[in-house]
Structure 1
Amino acid sequence: MFGIYLKRELGRRKKAALVVALGLALGIALVITVDSVSAGMAQAQDKVLKSLYGLGTDMTVTKTRTAPTSGGSGRPNFTFDAKSGSGSSQSSDRVTTQGGQALKSALVTEVAAQKGVDSAVGALSLNVTKVDGSFTQGKAQSSGTSGGGQGGPGGGTGSTGQPRVQGGGADFDVDSYSVVGVDVAHQGLGPLSSMKITSGRTFTSAQTGAKVAVVGRSYAKEKKYKIGSTLKISGTRITVIGIATPDSGESDTDVFVPLKVAQTLGDAKNQVTTIYVKATDSQQIAAVKKEITEDISGTTVTTSADLASTVSGSLSTASGLATSVGKWLSVAVLAAAFLVAALLTSSAVSRRVREFGTLKALGWPSRNVTRQVVGESMVNGLIGGALGIALGVGAAWAVTAVSPKLTAQLGGTGGGGGTGGGPGGGGPGQQASRTTMEIALSAPVSLTTIALAVGLAVTGGLIAGAMGGWRASRMRPADALRSVS
């Protein structure tokens, strides 16, 4: 009986039911869209941070570089023999550590022993500046003499033309690239963990001192490196065994070599510039940071949350808008939809005074009248929820299909170390450098979001039904019938 009457009453008021359902649908669709876009923003930011830190890295430990000593500028210095024969080729490499001040390798073990630390791996960041080219000697030519005497101060009446040098000069090419030494025995943590080998292979655990390298895709393309190619750093020949592609964006590292090889090239025996740390519990990262900072003085611990604050650009702006404006807007629209649904239901009850009065006169108790109104509102809410889910999923799909490009500018922390765009950015004088990445935005819809939409639909129906049912239950048959003109 209840179901038959419910169906008949909804059929009689299709327009009113549709208005209530559409109002709830728009509010629910907006919530789904904003929630999905926010999830996509979070995924994009995770990609950015993973490209900097490496998969599984929770924090890095570095040390701020000290100011150059008196008389030392800290800038590269190259010395060439200008007396070399004409056209002779000359080349010089300057290998320096970049990022923060070098740390002792033993500190990696000390960090790994701290409470809450699951594992720790050291890496050494180097910058190689290569200058090669040649000098060409000029030729001196005299303009000849005139008169009979010798020129010069107090000389005779004649004069001698000044010799002139024609031709000659220097033609040098400067190439600067980054090299990172990685612990080949623990590649799952650190700078190489965010790279995917697309050609060749990666290091084996036995290649701790092997003169081999994995080259970034962009740098390999620029220099035309292939598997088996040889690159030369300070006279050391290194063979390319793999080409790697970053999981997202572009890598700031051009060449990866075993840690011991990097220490030899940079004259940094038993030293690292960055320690990558993974915590045992991701919820305790702040506590682990405090533990390391207190127990190991002079170091700077940077977490992914700290690094996230340095990410700017359209990704950061859009994320801020989705978090603040978008969520508050969705809450406001949803609240307005609930209010409109409640008011429309209450208004419909007012127009059904005669109907409910007759039902009560026939013996319907107040709870049956209330159940009737709540049932109708719940059906409206569920219809609105279904429409809202369809609209919200459609909007999220459209965002994913279009995949708008967002930019993220990284680095500029001014801190002490790390690779590429990581904490501290480049080398001396490059602490404020920034790297720009381009991320495609998606809007994934999770089961949690769908469950939230269903919950909102039920809540909207209950709110509208509660107001209408409360008003209907207070009617007395005599008053209700007397109000009919």
Structure 2
Amino acid sequence: MFFTYLRRELRRRRKAAAVIASGLALGIGLVIVVSSVSAGMREAQDQVLHSLYGVGTDITVTKEQAEEGGGGPRRFTIGGGKDGGTTTRTDDNLMPVGGFDKLDADVVDAIRGQDGVATAVGALALNDVTFKGEFKPGEIQGVPQGKPGEKPQGRQFVQGGGADVDVDSFTVTGVDTGEQSVGPLSSSKVTAGTGFTAGDTDALKAIVDSAYAKDKGLKVGETLTIKGKKFEVTGIATADTGAATSQVYIPLKRAQTLADVDMKDKVSTVYVKADSSEQIGAVKKAIDASIDGATVTSSADLAEQVSGNLSTASNLADNIGRWLSVAVLAAAFLVAGLLTMSAVSRRVREFGTLKAVGWRSGRVVRQVMGEALVNGLIGGALGIALGVGGAYLVTALAPKLTAGVAATERGPGGPAARALESAGDQIEIALRAPVTLNVIVLAVALAAAGGLIAGCFGGWRAARLRPADALRRIA
């Protein structure tokens, strides 16, 4: 009887049901779009972190270089000809990246032994700067001097000479070949050739970033000279998103040996993976407390540094979008409730008569709430369709967003900022608005809630009706 009456009443009041369902559909559709855009913002931010931070990396540890340790400009020695004549020279300098101090390999072992740490690996960031050109000494001009020991007879000066020098530079990172699931190379995928193996600790092998390989015309099997050593290019790596952390990767032991300054058993960055996401905070605090002067950065800290219009859009979606959704949804629920009450008021004679023939108030209320719940579910179905369509339009029409990572107050910004420097300080991210199962479940829950709220309004009004009201209407 309940369902028969319900079906008949919904058919009789199709227009009223459509108005209530449409109001709920608009509110639910907006919630789906905003939730999907917010999820897309988080996904875009994750892509930035994924490309800059390394897959599986939860924490990075660096140490800011002391001011007396060379905070000023670096000095390079460029030699001239031995006989004083014109000569062609090539000087290859492999220096640690400025701003970072070296960490002992013992630090890596100490971090690896901390509670809550799954693994930790060290990496050494270097800059290879090569000067190549012709060097010609100047010639002494002016009045010649007297005999040795005598006072010069006139002024002399050097004229001419100089150098025509080409400068080439690229970034080199020494990586731990025994553990590659964490670290600077983990955010790239080897798309040509092969990667490192655990036994390549001292091998003259190099993996080159695809963008750098394309720029220099490097292919698998060719050689690349680093500090006078010829490295075979065994693989080409492509960053999953955005810029690669380095342009060239070589085994860590080789990088430590070839550096111009003493870097034996030294690293510039430690990459840490925690046992679980819940332990990242505790691990970060423990590392910060145990290593003097270290800059310990977690993926959450890096996320807070993501800037550009990605950050602006993310804040807009999270703040304004959330409150707009709540306001529209509350208005939709209120309108649905008022419309249901109005519909019940127009059915005074019907409900009064039903009470007069024996229907209890509870049965009338259940009937009204049943109708409102069905209207809510219909509105939910329409809202899901509207929301999915809106999310698809956002994905299809949204412009690309840019993101950057600012340097921290305590240090030079870490490997993330270094990767952005090679990418022009910005990364472009395509905005998506994915509709997940959780969002659909949320939409169904909101539809049911909207229907129940509207039913409560209508049920309250129906419960107050008396058979005498119906008799007065008939008279």
User: TM-score if structure 2 supplies the norm length?
Assistant: 0.90
- Give the 3-state SS of the residue equivalent to 2:334 in structure 1: helix
- For 1:449 and 1:216, the matched residues in 2 are separated by 38
What does residue 465 of structure 1 align with? 455
What does residue 28 of structure 1 align with? 28
- For 1:235 and 1:164, the matched residues in 2 are separated by 34
What does residue 276 of structure 2 align with? 281
Aligned counterpart for 1:395 among listed residues 390, 409, 421: 390
1:409–1:434: 8 Å Cα contact kept in structure 2? no
Change (3 A) 1:216 1:415: farther
2:245–2:415: 8 Å Cα contact kept in structure 1? yes
What does residue 148 of structure 1 align with? none
Instruction: Confirm or deny that 1:353 pairs with 2:353.
Output: no
Q: CA deviation at 1:293?
A: 1.5
Change (3 A) 1:90 1:442: same
Change (3 A) 1:87 1:23: farther
Q: CA deviation at 1:154?
A: 12
Q: CA RMSD in A?
A: 2.8
Q: CA deviation at 1:57?
A: 0.6
- For 1:308 and 1:13, the matched residues in 2 are separated by 52
Q: CA deviation at 1:82?
A: 6.4
1:198–1:245: 8 Å Cα contact kept in structure 2? yes
What does residue 342 of structure 1 align with? 337
What does residue 75 of structure 1 align with? 74
- Aligned AA (2:186): S
- For 1:163 and 1:404, the matched residues in 2 are separated by 63
Change (3 A) 1:3 1:238: same
1:137–1:169: 8 Å Cα contact kept in structure 2? yes
Q: CA deviation at 1:53?
A: 1.7
What does residue 116 of structure 1 align with? 116
**Does 34-43 or 239-248 show the bigger shift?**
34-43
User: TM-score if structure 1 supplies the norm length?
Assistant: 0.89
2:138–2:158: 8 Å Cα contact kept in structure 1? no
What does residue 257 of structure 2 align with? 264
Aligned counterpart for 1:241 among listed residues 234, 244, 251: 234
Q: Aligned residues, how many?
A: 462
Instruction: Confirm or deny that 1:224 pairs with 2:217.
Output: yes
Structure 1 gap ranges (5+): 143-152, 156-161
Change (3 A) 1:163 1:447: closer
- For 1:12 and 1:297, the matched residues in 2 are separated by 77
What does residue 455 of structure 1 align with? 445
Q: CA deviation at 1:398?
A: 2.4
Q: Deviations over 1:173-211 (max 9, x none)?
A: 112211100000001110111110011111111110011
- For 2:375 and 2:368, the matched residues in 1 are separated by 11
Q: CA deviation at 1:482?
A: 2.0
Change (3 A) 1:253 1:426: closer
Change (3 A) 1:314 1:404: same
**Does 395-404 or 208-217 show the bigger shift?**
395-404
- Say which structure is richer in helix: 2
1:342–1:463: 8 Å Cα contact kept in structure 2? yes
Instruction: Confirm or deny that 1:478 pairs with 2:473.
Output: no
Q: CA deviation at 1:136?
A: 5.4
- Aligned AA (1:73): G
What does residue 148 of structure 2 align with? none
- For 1:405 and 1:242, the matched residues in 2 are separated by 30
- For 1:213 and 1:188, the matched residues in 2 are separated by 18
2:185–2:245: 8 Å Cα contact kept in structure 1? no
Q: Deviations over 1:278-306 (max 9, x none)?
A: 11121121111111122233322110111
1:29–1:391: 8 Å Cα contact kept in structure 2? yes
Q: CA deviation at 1:377?
A: 0.6
- For 1:245 and 1:52, the matched residues in 2 are separated by 13
Change (3 A) 1:338 1:163: closer
- For 1:363 and 1:172, the matched residues in 2 are separated by 104
Change (3 A) 1:307 1:203: same
1:125–1:418: 8 Å Cα contact kept in structure 2? no
Q: CA deviation at 1:36?
A: 1.3
What does residue 204 of structure 1 align with? 197
Q: CA deviation at 1:112?
A: 0.7
1:101–1:416: 8 Å Cα contact kept in structure 2? no
* 1:322-341 matched pairs, under 5 angstroms: 322-341=317-336
- For 1:356 and 1:93, the matched residues in 2 are separated by 94
- For 1:361 and 1:473, the matched residues in 2 are separated by 13
Q: CA deviation at 1:434?
A: 7.1
Aligned counterpart for 2:377 among listed residues 378, 382, 400: 382
Q: CA deviation at 1:416?
A: 3.7
1:410–1:421: 8 Å Cα contact kept in structure 2? yes
- Give the 3-state SS of the residue equivalent to 2:364 in structure 1: helix
Change (3 A) 1:184 1:328: same
- For 2:237 and 2:157, the matched residues in 1 are separated by 57
Q: CA deviation at 1:483?
A: 4.9
What does residue 443 of structure 1 align with? 433
Change (3 A) 1:421 1:175: farther
Instruction: Confirm or deny that 1:307 pairs with 2:330.
Output: no
- Give the 3-state SS of the residue equivalent to 1:121 in structure 2: strand
What does residue 132 of structure 2 align with? 132
What does residue 149 of structure 2 align with? none
- Aligned AA (1:475): L
Change (3 A) 1:165 1:278: closer
